[in-house]
Structure 1
Amino acid sequence: MSRAIVHIDMNTFFVSCERLTNSELNGIPLIIGGGERGVVASCSYEARKFGVRSAMPIHMAMKLCPQAKIMKGDMELYSRLSHDITEIIQEKAPVVEKASIDEFYLDITGMDKFYGSYRWTDELAQRITKETGLPLTFALSVNKTVSKIGTGEGKQKQNLEIPEHLVQSFLNPLSIRKIPMVGQKTFELLSRIGIRTIRTLSEMPAESLQQMIGKNGTELWKKANGIDNAPVEPYTERKSISTEHTFSQDTIDVLKLNRILQGMVEKLAYQLRAEQWLTSTVTVKIRYANFDTETKQSRVQYTSADHLLTQTVTDLFTKLYQRRMRLRLIGVRFSGLVRGTYQIDLFNDTEEMLSLYQAMDRMKTRYGFDAVMRCAGASFKPNNKDEILKRKK
């Protein structure tokens, strides 16, 4: 029996949320993002006609579309509406994976013999739009890759159903850029040897592709041939992420304590970005030599940026550590997590800051967390003895 996998994509989600609360924004070029030195988090179709795209510097977007209205994003609004959508889907679908704040995969295999998979999905989509007021596009196919590509195409051709016998004919004429794992560098590499369509890529020997681009070559060849056995992972929302440091000798050295806290923040913030989370609540924990334990927390605007979180942690620690007594443990916890489709807070950070974080994260991912870090946080050397990394779901 063929699998039945649905991909749901909320259309221009941030823009649609803003228009839901302010009808005057309908029909005009709209850009969600930071100030003049920030980047585009999302943009309306009216702005896209001028060449504006997500992650583009704001100043460049304004040159392309000077009449556009720029708004700072409201992550609390987006998170609340995303939660509403999730609840509607989970109530109806047997298996749901929440890929991001505005993307969902559903495994409805077997539904066809009872109801009709496409009809069932269409009625679910209508219910989501009716109850939330937000538009969406969906595609139904045999795996996650084809359904996601189908959603991208469906935004111009309406919702799509791509049965197994039509998968290859659907994929063949499309650009290789439509394959989710193909980035700019891979596209340029393959284009130089004349591989620009999925058909050409699918006909290339998998071994040759692996020699050319490494271990991902075989996976890319499979996707070009419509092969993807990845399961739909049941959705469970993570509640918090935290780390603690227990000293071998109790300490009262405030400078040392602050340096370790900064190292903790840097590690946790990197993990947030790697897993595409944003935090809204920061908690600092201390334990005195006599085992008295105290905590203090603060709400922050949704972010995963080290420099913003470090300032909050530093302020909390200053307010919390009032007794001149040695400490045996300190800890940091980020909670109130929401999914995001970007790595750092695009609403507040500049283009330069975005580039810096992306470069640092690439180095950490490739060479390890210690490959590059702030000098202030270098005192924190995470290892199995002095760090407890907690992942609560």
Structure 2
Amino acid sequence: MNRAIVHMDLDTFFVSCERVRHSELIGKPVIIGGGDRGVVASCSYETRYFGVRSAMPMKMALRLCPEARVIRGDMDWYTKMSHEVTEIIQEKVPVMEKASVDEFYLDLSGMDQFFGCYQWTREIARSVMKNTGLPISFALSGNKTVSKIGTGEAKPVGQLEIREDLVQPFLNPLSVRKIPMVGNATFQLLSRIGVRKIQTLSEMPVEVLQKLIGKNGTELWKKANGIDDSPVTQYAERKSISTEHTFSEDTMDVENMQSLLSGMVEQLCFQLRKEKWLASVVTVKIRYANFDTETKQMKIPYTAVDHTISRYVQELFKKLYTRRMRLRMVGVKCSGLVHGQHQMNLFEDTEELISLYQAMDRMKMRFGKDAVRRAGGIP
């Protein structure tokens, strides 16, 4: 049976969310981001015409497009809209993977016998736009890589079907940058040997790519040839990471417990960023000396940043620990996970703070997770 894999992507998601509730922004240049020292979280196509891009410093973006309307952003609202789209898609397809807050993979294999897969996907896209007001693009092909590249070419508000016999003609003229796993460093490396188009890459001997790039050479060659057997993984809110600490002696030292919780959050957030997860639910758990166990949880905007999640954890702990009784254990869990690259709160954080997180993560990756610690997280 031929596979039928769809990639769906909400166009300029943050901007589109703002336009749902502020229709006067439609057709206008819009930038979502922080203050003068912040960076661009999202931007409309009208600003991209002037060269504005995501993650660009705000000062540079406003020099390129001074007429742009700047909005600080509201992750609570964007998270709510993301959940609404997820529910609409999830109830209409057999298998759905939520790849990030604004993109989805659908496996419609075998549905051709009931209803054409392309027509079915168009109906889903129409339903999303009708019920949420958000524009969405999609591409249908035999695997995730080709569909994701196809969606990028179809935007904005585009719909594309790439049949098996048309995969290579579709891929060949495109830049190797279009392949999902090709970052700037890989692109520069390939460019130095004259490889800029996917066709050139696909025709290279795989052994040469292995020597040039290493273990990822084979995978890159496969993608350039439209080969990708990776499955669509069913999305489930149950995905979580957690940690618990049992005290050697039962304690009522609140200050020590708050420091411990901060340290636990720091470790969890590093794991989230390392594995490219964003959390939308935080849970705090405590166990009293008499073994009574209580938990409280809170839905939060998608994030993987220590200081943001720590704020919610401390708030939950204060609400939870209400008895004048010793505790034997505390725990923190991050759940409602989706993969995503929005690893910083781009609406609040400065370039300096983002750089600090990235530098700390690099040190932890190289020397171990305890190589750098926040002083406030050490009891």
Output the TM-score relative to the length of structure 1.
Answer: 0.87
Q: Shift of the alpha carbon at 1:294?
A: 5.4
Instruction: Name the residue aligned to 2:277.
Output: 276
Output the TM-score relative to the length of structure 2.
Answer: 0.90
SS in 2 for 1:346: coil
Q: Shift of the alpha carbon at 1:295?
A: 5.4
Q: Which amino acid is 1:355 matched to?
A: S
Contact 1:144-1:230 at 8 Å conserved across structures:
yes
Q: How does 1:61-210 map to 2 (within 5 A)?
A: 61-155=61-155, 158-210=158-210
SS in 1 for 2:346: coil
Instruction: Name the residue aligned to 1:32.
Output: 32
Distance 1:366 1:232, change over 3 A: farther
Distance 1:156 1:329, change over 3 A: closer
Instruction: Name the residue aligned to 1:265.
Output: 265
How many residue pairs align between the two structures?
Answer: 378
Is 1:7 the counterpart of 2:7 in the alignment?
yes
Q: Shift of the alpha carbon at 1:8?
A: 0.8
SS in 1 for 2:244: strand
Contact 2:32-2:72 at 8 Å conserved across structures:
yes
Q: Shift of the alpha carbon at 1:222?
A: 0.7
SS in 2 for 1:354: helix
The answer to which of 81-90 and 357-366 deviates more is 357-366
The answer to which of 262-271 and 313-322 deviates more is 313-322
Deviations 1:236-293 (A, max 9, x none): 123754321012333455554343222101012223333431345x554443434355
Q: Which amino acid is 2:147 matched to?
A: S
Q: Shift of the alpha carbon at 1:201?
A: 1.1
SS in 2 for 1:233: coil
Contact 1:284-1:297 at 8 Å conserved across structures:
yes
Q: How does 1:333-372 map to 2 (within 5 A)?
A: 333-334=333-334, 340-365=340-365, 367-372=367-372
Q: Shift of the alpha carbon at 1:42?
A: 0.9
The answer to which of 327-336 and 48-57 deviates more is 327-336
Q: Shift of the alpha carbon at 1:167?
A: 0.8
Distance 1:378 1:91, change over 3 A: same
Instruction: Name the residue aligned to 1:390.
Output: none
Q: Shift of the alpha carbon at 1:170?
A: 0.9
SS in 1 for 2:67: coil
SS in 2 for 1:331: strand
Deviations 1:74-121 (A, max 9, x none): 222222222222222222212111111111111111223443222222
CA distance in 2, matches of 1:231, 1:299: 29
SS in 1 for 2:250: strand
SS in 2 for 1:92: coil
Q: Cα RMSD (Å) of the superposition?
A: 2.6
Instruction: Name the residue aligned to 1:59.
Output: 59
Q: Which amino acid is 1:69 matched to?
A: R
Q: Shift of the alpha carbon at 1:6?
A: 0.8
Q: Which amino acid is 2:71 matched to?
A: M
Structure 2 portions without partners, runs of 5+: none
Contact 1:17-1:78 at 8 Å conserved across structures:
yes
CA distance in 2, matches of 1:266, 1:216: 31
CA distance in 2, matches of 1:298, 1:153: 38
CA distance in 2, matches of 1:321, 1:256: 14
CA distance in 1, matches of 2:80, 2:324: 42
Q: Which amino acid is 2:182 matched to?
A: V
CA distance in 2, matches of 1:80, 1:300: 10
Distance 1:323 1:96, change over 3 A: closer
Distance 1:315 1:46, change over 3 A: same
Q: Which amino acid is 1:267 matched to?
A: Q
Contact 1:176-1:197 at 8 Å conserved across structures:
yes
CA distance in 1, matches of 2:102, 2:13: 6
Distance 1:104 1:308, change over 3 A: closer
Aligned sequence identity (%): 67
Contact 2:363-2:372 at 8 Å conserved across structures:
yes
Contact 2:252-2:325 at 8 Å conserved across structures:
yes
SS in 2 for 1:370: coil
CA distance in 1, matches of 2:54, 2:303: 18
Instruction: Name the residue aligned to 1:49.
Output: 49
CA distance in 2, matches of 1:317, 1:114: 51
Contact 1:52-1:61 at 8 Å conserved across structures:
yes
Contact 1:279-1:304 at 8 Å conserved across structures:
no
Structure 1 portions without partners, runs of 5+: 380-393
Contact 1:278-1:340 at 8 Å conserved across structures:
no
Q: Shift of the alpha carbon at 1:30?
A: 0.3
